[in-house]
Amino acid sequence: MQNDSMQKRKAELLRSLHRAPPILVLPNAWDAASAALFARAGACAIATTSAGVANALGYADGQATPLAQVLAATQRIAAAVQIPVSADLEAGYAETPAALQAVIRQLLATGAVGVNLEDGRPPGSAQPLRDVADQQARLRAARAAADAAGIPLVINARTDVFLHQVGAPDSRLGESLRRLAAYAQAGADCLFAPGVADAAMIAVLVRELKLPLNILAGPATPAVSELEKLGVARVSVGSGLHRASLAHAEQLARDFLAGGGFQGLATDLTYAALNNLLKH
């Protein structure tokens, strides 16, 4: 477990990496091994993927994974690398601001120095999104918990307007801007609107918002260099790397099961190399 001064320095480093350019590219890890490999690949910081962590632990995404298991996985990820780690806590695993403060204190104990908090409500909720004032109160509570701990936690405030397709299509940009501006006032450090891939719309978000913008990348997203030109401060891939890895593994298994060869197992990542990455 890292000491408070080291964790504070990592939090300050993570915050500084949002001052684009250059853009902060965040690979999303789902376990200690993936985190260590992304760090070895040159990542300056990493984030976790809630879906990837959940799936690796045998759960579906959407806060179905017990919080204790999410925190334990986050701690293993943070311990596997020397770079800052931001944790995806979905909706915060808490219904009230006070309860969220307790969760943030537990998160800081894992060594994480950033957190992703979304306004989308867990599956099965009556409304897809939280009330703006409610989410503001939650963000203020998260900030207060981090301040009390002396760690300048980097809060990535996410709105799920586009992701959940809330409202008429032509209303979503305006609603996202309204929500994200409110979250900036509540103490967020970075603003996140997953589901936006159009360059012109990304440019509007960058221009209108006063804080760094995080874009969730997918196959249709502009390249990293283009996002940087648009003024995007941070790009993450969510569960994309996790799913791509599993899809590749499934295809290899299909080839074996169909009687094929094992050439697909050829890799520069040796058993010893991976083992050494995880030795402490």
Task: Answer whether residue 227 shows pLDDT above 90.
Answer: yes
* CATH code, 235: 3.20.20.60
Burial-class residue 164 by CB neighbours within 10 Å (0-12, 13-18, 19+): middle
Question: What are phi and psi for residue 143, nearest 5 degrees?
Answer: -65, -45
In a domain, residue 204? The reply is yes
SS3 assignment, position 214: strand
Burial class (CB in 10 A: 0-12, 13-18, 19+), 110: buried
Question: What's residue 125's pLDDT?
Answer: 81
In a domain? residue 173: yes
pLDDT digits (tens, 9 = 90+) for 112-146: 999 999 999 877 788 999 999 999 999 999 999 99
| Residue-level pLDDT at 159 | 98
pLDDT, tens only, 85-104 = 999 999 999 999 999 999 99
Calculate mean pLDDT across residues 183-210.
97
Number of domains forming the structure of the chain: 1
> What is the domain range of residue 66?
4-240
Q: How far apart are CA 73 and CA 79, in angstroms?
A: 10
Q: What is the mean pLDDT of residues 50-67?
A: 97
Reported as a pLDDT band with limits 50, 70 and 90, residue 198 is very high
276 located within any domain: no
Q: Tell me, what's the pLDDT at 90?
A: 97
Q: What is the mean pLDDT of the chain?
A: 96
d(CA 273, CA 271): 6
Long-range contacts of 219-227 (CB under 8 A, 24+ apart): 221/197, 222/197, 224/23, 224/25, 226/199, 227/23, 227/202
In a domain, 263, yes or no: no
Residue 192's identity, in one-letter code, is: F
Please tell me the distance from the alpha carbon of residue 47 to that of residue 248, in angstroms, as a whole number: 22
In a domain, 279, yes or no: no
